[in-house]
Amino acid sequence: MNRRNFVRNMATSASGIILGNALVQNAVAATASPAGPADRMKEVLRYRKLDAHVHLGLSKDGPEVNVDFAERLGIDRMFISKPVTSGPATPDDFRAANDVILKAMKRYPGKLTGMLTLNPAYPKASLEEIKRCTGEGMTGIKVYHQVKINDPLFYPVIERLIDLKMIMLMHAEATLGIAGYRMKYDQGIKPNASRPEDFVEAAARYPEAMLQYAHIGGGPDWEYACKLLKNSPNVYIDVSGSNNENNMVEFAVKCVGADRILFGSDNMYYQSVGKIIDARLTEEEKRKIFFDNYYNILKKGGYHVD
Amino acid sequence: MLIDINAYTGHWPFKQLRDNHCEGLLGRMKEYGVDLSVVTNLNGIFYKNTQSANEELYEEVRSKRAYRDRFLPFAIINPIYAGWKADFLTCVKDFGMKGIRVFPNYHDYTIDDPALLDLVKMARDHDVPVALTMRVVDSRQRSWMDLAAEWAMKDYVPLVQAVPDAKYMMLNLSTGMALSAEQETVLKNANVLFDTSGRHITHFANVYRRFGKEKFAFGSHFPVFDYYTGLLRIESLRPEEAEEADRALFCSGNARRFLKV
């Protein structure tokens, strides 16, 4: 190494060391005023929250884990379900799943409210299950991907929900190669999952129905979904799921308005709360998303939250 | 004190990012009381010549006193592209960059590529960390032009085994944290710092106990992710889950020790 390079490298190395140390002192001085962790947690806890999309049975955890997170993050009530995620989803399957939820509701009556699951391929049993579960205090339906939401098999279910003024939460996809979207990339899974287009069709056929698109944080192309659902006023978008991408919530509000966005977690609590708290939205918009919108949906059917 | 060990500037070509520059990042830092941020230019993932992105970042950081005071730039080095050794030396010695990041999935080489091993050894010898990003965005929402495959935590373990005395960061733990007992031992014994941004940290107290409280630090993954979630994982810990001293480790103590700031 020639001397000139040696001297230059020594100088820059030394300046790097000095820079590193100086960064600490200067940085501390510059951040004297922002809210600290206690204030931030107060803000998190200050918002009343209704979690419009939670599950039981996705892992070995029992309902006590859900409730623990509710207490940790200030979630007033969780609307919890156990969709049948594999196999034929026979009446025995969905009744058993709903029984798990009924048991959890009895264990945590102040915290958990059930959303029943069913498979509309079994129409008689599905309608009977709606009657049974709503009679036990469930206030919504959560269905998975056995049948597309716009399939005629769903018509009797949706019509029943219209009568009950009850929302239906439906798993959705907007992913390359699934359920009809860009099938040159066929992933070979969930052929009957519902795409945003399917929601649009169902919503148009039944404008009195309330449909919940689950979930823009769950892995789909959320820009695609939000744009497509813009003109379906009876489709609500839930922001639940494991993704907490910056601008996701703001984009949804921009596309469909704050009144049609629902806080949900899909058991991903940190992300689902954090991304709303951080979103560049007004106080009123955050309150609507966390609580008011879902509360208003419940009120339509006479289901109340204290 | 708060240090964010995982933040970015730059663009993601398949989706608009907001506040994807030093000024935008600084705004969030001020809002949340974050003192320092490790920052990397996302453009380096997509430029064939990553050094152009490193130069962009260097110029942006040095353009303003507030940036120089608050940002710890990391370089993206592609060890199978021309001039990478000179790039490394320029970034570390001339630009004062505090670490490097590698993206073998995007830059299309394997974890056992000899050039990567050479790079990691160089980083070790210069006492700078090597940051490994489990993923940038969720492949389920990928563009038709983006990668379909993701790498899980276990896929990086061979690198740690090959150069066990290097310093590693494992960022955005979102692609699966399942490890064999042997693999877990490798990571526990290595000088690895994880950040708190990733979705597989579903219960932070359980996760940090698995690897040790010295191994975690706040990371935002902003502006790909929202700024707060990685911090919420720490701030929502109950006193019985983490004492104040432990939280201080997660907020800055572990990062300061690791980055020597």
Give yes or no for residue B59 having a pLDDT over 90: yes
Q: For position A230, what pLDDT does the model report?
A: 98
The three state secondary structure string of B71-102 is EEEEEECCCCCCCHHHHHHHHHHHCCCCEEEE
CB contact under 8 A, B94 and A12: yes
On whether the CB atoms of residues B193 and B5 are closer than 8 A, the answer is: yes
Q: What are phi and psi of B167, to 5 degrees?
A: -105, 130
CB contact under 8 A, A12 and B231: no
CB contact under 8 A, A245 and B226: yes
Q: Kindly tell me the burial class for residue B176, based on how many C-beta atoms sit within 10 Å of its own C-beta (0-12, 13-18, 19 or more).
A: middle
- Per-residue pLDDT of chain A (306 residues), as tens digits, is 333 333 333 333 333 433 444 555 555 444 445 778 889 999 999 999 999 999 998 888 899 999 999 999 999 999 999 999 888 999 999 999 999 999 999 999 989 999 999 999 999 999 999 999 999 999 999 999 889 999 999 999 999 999 999 999 999 988 889 888 888 889 888 888 899 999 999 999 999 999 999 999 998 999 999 999 999 999 999 999 999 999 999 999 999 999 999 999 999 999 999 999 999 999 999 999 999 999 999 999 998 776
Q: Which ipTM score applies to this complex?
A: 0.96
- Give the CA radius of gyration of chain A: 23
Q: For position A248, what pLDDT does the model report?
A: 98
Distance separating alpha carbons of residues B33 and A219, to the nearest angstrom: 30
CB contact under 8 A, A245 and B33: no
Cα–Cα distances in Å, from A200 out to A48, A84, A151, A168, A300?
30, 24, 12, 14, 22
Task: Name the residue in chain B with its Cα closest to that of A65.
Answer: B203
Give yes or no for residue B76 having a pLDDT over 70: yes
Secondary structure element (H or E) that encloses residue A5, with its range:
helix A3-30
CA distance B249 to chain A (A): 14
* Tokens (6 digits) for A294: 């879902």
Q: For position A306, what pLDDT does the model report?
A: 65
**Percent of chain B, pLDDT > 70?**
100
On whether the CB atoms of residues B74 and B99 are closer than 8 A, the answer is: yes
CB contact under 8 A, B261 and A24: yes
Give yes or no for residue B138 having a pLDDT over 70: yes
Query: Least CB-CB distance to A273: which of B33, B93, B232?
Result: B232
CB contact under 8 A, B144 and A185: yes
Give yes or no for residue B45 having a pLDDT over 90: yes
CA distance A63 to chain B (A): 15
Q: For position A191, what pLDDT does the model report?
A: 87
Task: Name the residue in chain B with its Cα closest to that of A28.
Answer: B35
Angle between helices A248-256 and A269-278 (to 10 degrees): 70
Secondary structure element (H or E) that encloses residue A100, with its range:
helix A91-107
Cα–Cα distances in Å, from A18 out to A4, A21, B60, B97?
21, 5, 20, 13
CB contact under 8 A, A246 and B30: no
CB contact under 8 A, A31 and B29: yes
Query: Least CB-CB distance to B144: which of A19, A176, A245?
Result: A176
On whether the CB atoms of residues A294 and A262 are closer than 8 A, the answer is: yes
Q: Kindly tell me the burial class for residue A24, based on how many C-beta atoms sit within 10 Å of its own C-beta (0-12, 13-18, 19 or more).
A: middle
The answer, yes or no, to whether the previous bond of A215 is cis (omega within 30 of 0) is: yes
Q: For position A7, what pLDDT does the model report?
A: 30
Closest CA to A172 of A150, A140, A139, A204: A150
Query: Least CB-CB distance to A274: which of B35, B226, B247?
Result: B226
Q: For position A24, what pLDDT does the model report?
A: 56
Query: Least CB-CB distance to A34: which of B33, B141, B256?
Result: B33
What are the pLDDT digits (tens) for B220-257?
Answer: 999 999 999 999 999 999 999 999 999 999 999 999 99
Q: For position B202, what pLDDT does the model report?
A: 94
